[in-house]
Amino acid sequence: MKLKKLKLRNFRIHRKLDLEFQDGITGVTGGNGAGKSAIIEAIRFVLQGSFDGPSKDKVISLGETSGYVSCTFELHGKEGYIERHLDCSKVILEYDGKDPLKKASEVKELWDRLMQITPDIMDNVVIARQDDIPKLFTGDASEREKLFQKIFLVPNTEKLRKVIWDDYIKKAPPAYMVANQDDLQAALAEAIRVHDEKIDRLKSLPRVEQHQYESIYSLQTLHRKQLADHQRILELEAKEAALEPQIAPVQAKRDELKGRLVTIDIGLYRQKVVELSTAQEASKSRGRIIADLNRITVDLLPEDDYQELLVKAGEAKTRWDKLQAEHTAVTLKYDQARRELAVHQNLKGHAVCPTCKQSIKDIADFIASHEKQMAEIAGQINSAPLQEAATHCGSLNKKIETQNNLRIQIGLLEQSLVGCPEVQFDPKMLDVARQVVAAYDQMDRELRGSEQTYTYLVQQRDTLAGQKVGLDKLQDPQSVHAKLNELDAAHQRLNEASNSYKTAETEVGAAASLVGVARQRITDNDAIKAKNVKRDQYVQDLGEVYEALHTSEFPRKLIQNYAGIVTEYLNRHLDSFVIDYTAQVNDNFGIDVLDTSGRILPTVSGGQRVIIGLSLRLALHDLFGQGFPMMIIDEASAALHEDNKQAYFDVVKSLKDNAKLKQVIVIDHDDRLANVVDNLIAL
């Protein structure tokens, strides 16, 4: 991660501040109250989204209601941009040229994946605040212990102890109830005894075999079929007896109808109906034609009137043609005058008449004269006589067309009348012939119905006779009934014996199940005992963990185990300085300074504190912040004596050679900072 640009809007005293950061060491200087520490606070806010202290709306500049912090950064070789607002939850994240994310949940997911460090690492490893380093050399041991707990990310074991006690130890399941082993063994012995008794009873019962059932079933089937055949024959004979009285009357009616139909020559009567019907239709057609001729002749004009109508139509056409020619001539004359007037209106000065080629003295008088002539011609145009003549001519032509159509219709009707001569026929004879044919057809339908009924009844009788084939009629059905009853009784006895045997088998199975249940109870009781042992061990282990997590045990031992690793990394960085001492983290969470002989120095100078403090920060950064190659130091020289400040700035200058730190931001009010940094920002 490298910061490239930082923008503050209405953040504490900075209403508008734009900063640019370069690789290497960037120094930020300014007097007291210039807002140097606010820059650290803004960097922490934009990277972590929270404040270590006041709520974010409390840092908005006085008199303002909104503000934000944004930064442009480079991470994994790709550029990004993040913006967080102070007055609301608005946040924007852009990375690797992709579309910006604006939903808080999406921003958090991507940002956590990119940062890969916790707020505690940011606060206690990446950012070196004022007065943090001196606390490692002075102050109460408990304060130093709390500081190391934050640095080493030691969890709050008291909360964990409370969870173990409330959610696990207090809620541990009670021990299972364990049954008496002697009682379980006695129950098993009793179940085995009952099982043996059931087996002995089963062995004493006869077992019914399948062939015994099959023998009885075969005889039952035979006798039931004999009785069924006998009953079927009786039913068929009863149906045959019921059919005979129905067949005789149907046969007699059929024969009667046949005799009556033979006496009628139906062909002659049908031919007579056709001939008389044709003559009747021809007479009706001739009557319709004569009626149409009489109706049309009423509207037909006499020949003299028709000729007079033709003469009047010719005269009307002649008059219309004359009026049309006169109207056309006047219209053409008017159009010619209008075109000439248009030409004359364009004449100017001494002009010559385009028509007669004579000189025109006064163009205005000439045009006025022409307009008067046009008005006279327009007065001659009157289309009313022409329209009246056209209407009269059309009316006469329509009358002529109507008379022509009537003459055509009369001619066609007269031709039809010639093809339809007058025919004589007797209507009464037609009615008689039709009645004979109708009566014959009715008797014929009745005959066909009688024949169908007779055929159906005979087929039924034959069917019943066929169904009796293969059936035997018993001479003594009562004896067969008696044999069947004996067989049913024998079958019932077999069923009772079989059911007794199956009941005994079921009782043996149930007794065997009880033996299995008794044995399973013994097995389950042994398993319950084993579970109780595990449960007791579980509660005991929880109690030991609960005691081990006491603040005087686990957290302190964890920090002390970390101390050796931190001491190793601390001295690696001290080796880069030309000094004659080493340092170590002691059991009281303080820093001991040792001379070349390994003896603890009684006092530590301000310069030694600066070198050791920064070396410790670098060691912690190696251990906990390697994925975040940036470090921020805030006013580390503030507590130093004047003669030790130069040593501090020499240490800052040496950070240029640290390959793991790509970017260092140092904030200090001392002007000597400008001599040791790569880039300087003055507030």
First to last CA, the chain: 24
pLDDT band at 396 (very low <50, low <70, confident <90, very high): confident
What is the token pair recorded at 345? 């209106």
At residue 64, the pLDDT reads 92
The answer to whether the predicted template modeling score (pTM) of the entire model surpasses 0.85 is no
At residue 156, the pLDDT reads 67
At residue 357, the pLDDT reads 67
Share of the chain above pLDDT 90, in %: 15
Asked if residue 571 lies in contact with residue 582, where contact means CB atoms within 8 angstroms, the answer is yes
Backbone angles phi, psi at 82, to 5 degrees: -135, 140
pLDDT band at 25 (very low <50, low <70, confident <90, very high): very high
Asked if residue 367 lies in contact with residue 354, where contact means CB atoms within 8 angstroms, the answer is no
Torsion of CA 583, 587, 588, 590, to 10 degrees: 10
At residue 11, the pLDDT reads 95
Mean pLDDT of the chain: 84
Strand ranges, E, within 621-662: 630-634
Domain range list for the chain: 2-163+553-682, 181-204+478-548, 282-418
Architecture of domain 2-163+553-682: 3-Layer(aba) Sandwich (3.40)
pLDDT of residue 130 exceeding 60:
no
The pLDDT tens digits of the residues spanning 433-444 come to: 888 888 888 888
The lowest-confidence range among 8-17, 37-46, 263-272 is: 263-272
Pairing of strands 679-682, 24-29: parallel
The pLDDT tens digits of the residues spanning 636-670 come to: 777 667 766 787 788 888 888 877 788 899 998 88
Contacts of 227 (CB under 8 A, 6+ apart): 474, 477, 480, 481, 484
- Best-predicted range by mean pLDDT (53-57, 289-293, 598-602): 598-602
Higher-scoring residue by pLDDT: 611, 38: 38
Rounded CA gap, 679 and 20, in Å? 10
State the average pLDDT over residues 277-289. Answer: 82
At residue 248, the pLDDT reads 84
Strand ranges, E, within 331-449: 351-352, 359-360
State the average pLDDT over residues 5-28. Answer: 94
Helix (H) or strand (E) holding 8: strand 2-11
What is the token pair recorded at 611? 């070198």
The pLDDT tens digits of the residues spanning 135-177 come to: 666 656 666 666 666 666 666 677 778 888 888 888 888 888 8
Asked if residue 125 lies in contact with residue 514, where contact means CB atoms within 8 angstroms, the answer is no
At residue 91, the pLDDT reads 95
Asked if residue 406 lies in contact with residue 300, where contact means CB atoms within 8 angstroms, the answer is yes
At residue 356, the pLDDT reads 66
Share of the chain above pLDDT 70, in %: 91
Contacts of 114 (CB under 8 A, 6+ apart): 75, 76, 80, 95
Helix (H) or strand (E) holding 295: helix 266-297
In 3D space, the residue among 109, 99, 101, 63 whose CA is nearest the CA of residue 84 turns out to be 101
Asked if residue 216 lies in contact with residue 494, where contact means CB atoms within 8 angstroms, the answer is yes
pLDDT of residue 126 exceeding 90:
no
Query: Where does residue 635 fall: left (phi above 0), alpha (psi -120 to 50 degrees), or beta otherwise?
Result: left
CA 245 centroid distance within chain: 79
The pLDDT tens digits of the residues spanning 305-346 come to: 888 888 888 888 888 888 888 888 888 888 888 887 777 777
In Å, how far are 205, 229, 244, 472 from 615, measured between CA atoms?
Answer: 100, 120, 134, 125
pLDDT band at 349 (very low <50, low <70, confident <90, very high): low
Higher-scoring residue by pLDDT: 618, 672: 672
Backbone angles phi, psi at 360, to 5 degrees: -105, 120
Rounded CA gap, 652 and 25, in Å? 8
Rounded CA gap, 264 and 257, in Å? 12
At residue 131, the pLDDT reads 58
At residue 95, the pLDDT reads 94
The lowest-confidence range among 9-23, 575-589, 615-629 is: 615-629
State the average pLDDT over residues 402-413. Answer: 86
State the average pLDDT over residues 232-247. Answer: 83
Pairing of strands 68-75, 24-29: unpaired
State the average pLDDT over residues 604-633. Answer: 77
11 exposed, middle or buried (CB, 10 Å; 0-12, 13-18, 19+)?
buried
pLDDT of residue 261 exceeding 80:
yes
Q: What is the DSSP track for 180-221?
A: -HHHHHHHHHHHHHHHHHHHHHHHHSPPPPHHHHHHHHHHHH
At residue 586, the pLDDT reads 81
pLDDT band at 421 (very low <50, low <70, confident <90, very high): confident
Q: What is the DSSP track for 456-510?
A: HHHHHHHHHHHHTTT----S-HHHHHHHHHHHHHHHHHHHHHHHHHHHHHHHHHH
pLDDT band at 227 (very low <50, low <70, confident <90, very high): confident
At residue 14, the pLDDT reads 94
Backbone angles phi, psi at 116, to 5 degrees: 60, 25
pLDDT band at 232 (very low <50, low <70, confident <90, very high): confident
At residue 99, the pLDDT reads 93
Higher-scoring residue by pLDDT: 425, 33: 33
Helix (H) or strand (E) holding 393: helix 384-418
Q: Give pairs for 484-489: CB < 8 Å, separation 24+.
A: 484/220, 484/223, 484/224, 484/227, 487/216, 487/219, 487/220, 487/223, 488/220
The pLDDT tens digits of the residues spanning 74-96 come to: 988 899 999 999 999 999 999 99
- Best-predicted range by mean pLDDT (4-13, 112-121, 240-249): 4-13
CA 84 centroid distance within chain: 36
State the average pLDDT over residues 615-633. Answer: 78
The lowest-confidence range among 136-140, 445-449, 486-490, 648-652 is: 136-140
Rounded CA gap, 254 and 444, in Å? 10
State the average pLDDT over residues 566-576. Answer: 84
At residue 88, the pLDDT reads 92
State the average pLDDT over residues 243-258. Answer: 85
pLDDT of residue 195 exceeding 60:
yes
In Å, how far are 11, 38, 39, 295 from 33, measured between CA atoms?
Answer: 14, 10, 12, 128
Asked if residue 491 lies in contact with residue 215, where contact means CB atoms within 8 angstroms, the answer is no
